[in-house]
Structures are given as structure tokens and as C-alpha cells.
Amino acid sequence: MGRFLGGILVAGLVALAAPGRLRAQESPYMVTYDHYLEEPGNLEVEYFSTLGTQRGGHDFHAAWLEFEYGATAWWTTELYLDGQTTFHDSTIFTGFRWENRFRLLQREHFINPVLYIEYEQISEADKIVKEVEGHDVEAGHAVPNAIARQDHNHELELKLLLSKNFKGWNVAVNPLATKPLLPSGPWEFGYAMGASRPLALKASARKCNFCLENFSAGVEMYGGLGDTISPGLHETSHYLAPVAAWNLPSGWTFRVSPGFGLNDNSHHLLMRWGVSREFSGFGEKVGKLLRGHP
Amino acid sequence: MKAVFLSLGILLFGAAGALAQADAAKAKKAESRFDYAELAKAPEKARSRRNPLAGDDAALAGGKKLFEQHCAECHGAAGEGSAKAPSLVAPVVLEAAPGALFWLLTNGVVRRGMPVWSKLPEAQRWQLVLFLPTLKVSQPESAPKPDSK
């Protein structure tokens, strides 16, 4: 856990110390992905929180730290570090994820596909609910940390990120399939979809933090679709979540999203918020450092 | 577990460095890499589109702001180009049809590192297209002449 908190601290210090002109035009989604990748050479450091209500157990605060790097214009790679605090229980580190997104087509099309491949090594105590899959239900998060953390999952997750922009709106649909590798298990399925739009489509002439074009809002919905043994909607959870983002010209982005459970298997509320900052030219700076140039 | 994290950290750090070094090496061949050929690939229908914001001074000012936020980092503050991206004050760019520039901005040149910019609303892309020709005015005379083959 110390390592997890240390990571957050280091990322925070790096974020505060780093100079440079930065870009910010991030989508407001928390769970859904559109088809846009990180700009090549840029690093985005993100921190997200999920505050969840829990029936049959204690409420929790789960957090993840995310390092997103634009390796090329068609490949973005990310490392996630997950942790959580269950109130009246404990605070623990729950695992890591390594995510890769590949743009499949060179140009913009009617629908734009991106292939998402993620390897995750997390414990059963993980509660960030970054995606909902298979028969994930609220009761699964009621297990005390001391017990849940003993079970570790190695999973491969595949998503097809389909996204389209139309008259200022973005519409994205992400079907997903997860294969537990160790211990082996059936393929699990889920979905996420969203729609969002900037509050103003035209950029104002002046530089400003509070211009409407810096804000975007929308809604997303996500949930499980069962697995290969028992496909369908029974014993699955689903959420509907308004989303909003504030992109500052300085490169900071703030997001907030209250997610509401849509059935009895879902948490009543998953309150999410996050902050991120993009560091342009990160790869170039690291390269100079390695070559010994200032 | 510690070893896994350490390995992952080293791997990511190394990958970033390797990619950056590769970028630096490629920079020496920048002139031949940036051939502007993509502009010529704009379909006629896209090329013939007119800028709906033409003559709008407020939109032009917004375009300047967008250029500084999203383009200057790679293309230079005056659009002069850099090791990462071609000059935008080359005649082939300055004389390009607004519709062709809009098409290029929308689709990017992904295999050569230019991201798609359709994440910007259409109006903002037109604002950028409106601003680009003004770079010619602010460009110093000593600016390098890019290869526009």
C-alpha cells in the first residue's frame, strides 16, 4: 500500500513540477472510450476516485493512478495502479493493469474502430469498477478485504472501441470480452456506451478557463452481459452515469460522474471524479535524458 | 510482485526512451519525410468545401488560440516546422484549398505521427483552417524553405 500511495505522491509532484505548454481536449467519459488516442510522445498522468455505496458491507473509496503514453499516432499504452479503502476495514493495493489501444484505420470513417487489449493482475478486492463484465454484482464487493485480497486474477481483456463524431456529438460503443487466464475461467462479456458533446463548438477569441468550449458533458451506460456458461442479463449489474469534464488550457482536466445502479444487483451509487494532466514531449525528454543531453 | 512492478517500470521507461531516440534519428531525415503528399489526396468533394467562417474576425482570433494550444508544439510557434512536423508556411500549405486543409486536419496522417483532429468540433477545425494563411504574414524572412515535393 505504501508503494501505491508513494506512486500517487510522485505522480502528483511530477505533475506540479513539470513545465511546458500542454494540450487538453479530453472526453468526459469515465468508463467508455472514444477512438482518440494520446498524441505521440505525450504522457498523461491521471488520478481517479470511485466512492461506492455497499449493501451488506461497508462503503468504499477505490482509486486508480493511470499513466497513458502515446507511443505512436496509432498506438497508446497505459499502466494502471489500483487500490481501495473499505470503510471500517482497511486500505489495500489491489493490482495493476497494462492497457494497449491500437487504431485500426488510418483515416476517419463513418465508424472508427480501435482495438483494446489489456492484461490485468488484480485481486478480488479490486473495486474501481473501471468496467463491468460477466456476472459482476454488488454482493461481490461485500467480502472483507482480508479474504478478498487472497484471490488474485490474471485476466486478458479485449474491447472493440467504436466511435463516431456527428455535429459536435461523440457517440461511442464498447463491447468487451474478458478471459480469466489464471485461474482459468469462461469468457465474460460486457458493454459500455456513451454520448457527449462540448458545451460550445466554436472557440472563443480570448484565452479563458471558464469558456463554454472548455466544458463537455454527456451520459454513459455500462454493464455485464454474462459469460459463455451463462450468457444473458440475469445476475448482472448495470449503471447509468451522467459525465462532465472541464478542460483547462493549462493542460489539466477535471472529470466528475455520479453513476446510478439500474437494478438490484448494482451499487446504488458510484460517485466518480478524477483529475489528469498531459505532459507534452515526454518521450523526447526521456530520450534526451538517456543520451545525456540536458 | 515488486519485481513485476520494477520490470514494468523499466520496460515502459526504456520503451519511451527508445521511441524518443528513434524520433531523434528520424529528425535528420525530416525534410524528406515531410513531403506534403497527403494534401494532394484530399477528395475533390472535400477540397471544394468552403470555410463557413470566412471573414469572421472573432473566429480567426479563436483559430490563433487553437493553433497555440494544439499545433504550435509540433509545428512551431510561427508554423515554421520542426523535427517532429512539417512547416505550415510552405507554399503548398498556404496555397492549399481550405477544404483540403480541413480534410487533412480531420483525418490526420496517422502513419507519420499526425493525429486525427476530429476530436475538435468541426467549427474549431474551420477556425484553424482560417488562421493558417495568416502565418505567412508573421513568418520571418529567414524562415527555412521546406521541401514541397
User: Do both B110 and B95 map to the same domain?
Assistant: yes
Interchain contact A286–B (C-beta under 8 A):
yes
pLDDT single digits (tens) B97-139: 999 999 999 999 998 899 999 999 999 999 999 999 999 766 5
Tell whether B54 is covered by a domain: yes
On chain A, the residues whose CB falls within 8 A of the CB of B116 are: 36, 107-108
Q: Judge: B73–A281 Cβ closer than 8 Å, yes or no.
A: yes
| Band of pLDDT at residue A210, cut at 50, 70 and 90 | very high
Residue pair B67/B129 in contact by the 8 Å Cβ criterion: no
DSSP-H helix ranges across B28-138: 30-33, 37-40, 44-47, 57-66, 72-75, 91-94, 98-107, 122-131, 135-138
Q: Which SS3 state, helix, strand or coil, does residue B107 take?
A: helix
How far are the Cα atoms of A21, A85, B69, B88, B135 from residue B76, in angstroms, in the given order? 12, 46, 11, 9, 11
pLDDT in tens, B39-49: 999 999 999 99
Nearest to B111 among A106, A202, A204 (CB): A106
Please check whether residues B60 and B79 belong to one and the same domain. yes
A164 touches chain B (CB under 8 A): no
For residue B143, is it within any domain?
no
pLDDT (tens digit per residue) in A71-130: 999 999 999 999 999 999 999 999 999 999 999 999 999 999 999 999 999 999 999 999
pLDDT digits (tens, 9 = 90+) for A48-70: 999 999 999 999 999 999 999 99
> In this structure, are residues A39 and B115 in contact, taking their beta carbons and an 8 Å threshold?
yes
Measured between CB atoms, does A262 come within 8 Å of chain B?
no
Q: pLDDT value at position B122? A: 96
Domain with residue B77: its CATH number is 1.10.760.10
Convert the pLDDT of each residue in A215-250 to its tens digit: 999 999 999 999 999 999 999 999 999 999 999 988
Q: How confident is the model at residue A294 (pLDDT cuts 50, 70, 90)?
A: low
Average pLDDT, chain A: 91
Q: How confident is the model at residue B23 (pLDDT cuts 50, 70, 90)?
A: very low
Residue B145 domain flag: no
- Chain B residues with CB inside 8 Å of A74's CB? 110-111
On whether residue B60 sits in a domain, the answer given is yes
pTM score, whole prediction: 0.85
Same domain as B105, residue B49: yes
B144 in any annotated domain: no
- pLDDT band at residue B68 under the 50/70/90 scheme: very high
Cα A226 to Cα A149, A161, A255, distances in angstroms: 23, 19, 29
SS3 A191: strand
One domain, residues B8 and B50: no
Per residue in A7-24, pLDDT (tens digit) is: 444 444 444 444 444 455
Confidence of residue A199 (pLDDT cuts 50, 70, 90): very high
Question: What class does CATH assign to A2-291?
Answer: mainly beta
In this prediction, residue A99 carries a pLDDT of 98
Are A73 and B110 within 8 A, CB to CB?
Answer: yes
**DSSP bridge partners of B65:** none
> For residue A288, what pLDDT is reported?
83
- pLDDT band of B26, cuts 50, 70, 90: very low
> Quick check: A286 and B17 CB within 8 A?
yes
Do both B61 and B124 map to the same domain?
A: yes
ipTM of the complex as predicted: 0.86
Task: Check residue A10 and give its pLDDT.
Answer: 47
Q: What is the pLDDT of residue A292?
A: 74
Residue A218 has a pLDDT of: 98
Q: Tens digit of pLDDT for each residue in A127-154?
A: 999 999 999 999 999 999 999 999 999 9
- Judge if B59 and B85 occupy the same domain: yes
Asked if B45 and B24 sit in the same domain, the reply is no
In this predicted structure, the answer to whether residue B1 has a pLDDT above a threshold of 90 is no
Question: Which segments of B67-116 does DSSP mark as H helices, in order?
Answer: 72-75, 91-94, 98-107
Domain housing B6: 1-30
pLDDT for the residue A286: 87
Are B8 and A98 inside 8 Å of each other by CB? yes
Report pLDDT for B93.
93
Split into its structural domains, chain B has a count of 2
Chain centre to alpha carbon of residue B16:
22
What is the rounded average pLDDT for all residues in chain B?
80
Burial class (CB in 10 A: 0-12, 13-18, 19+), A90: middle
Note whether B65 contacts A: Cβ–Cβ < 8 A. yes
Q: Does one domain contain both B96 and B40?
A: yes
Q: Do B120 and A67 touch (CB under 8 A)?
A: no
Average pLDDT over residues B66-73: 93
pLDDT digits (tens, 9 = 90+) for A251-266: 899 999 999 999 999 9
- B112 and B50 share one domain: yes
B107, B38: one domain: yes
- Contact assessment for residue A32 and residue A172, using Cβ atoms and an 8 Å cutoff: yes
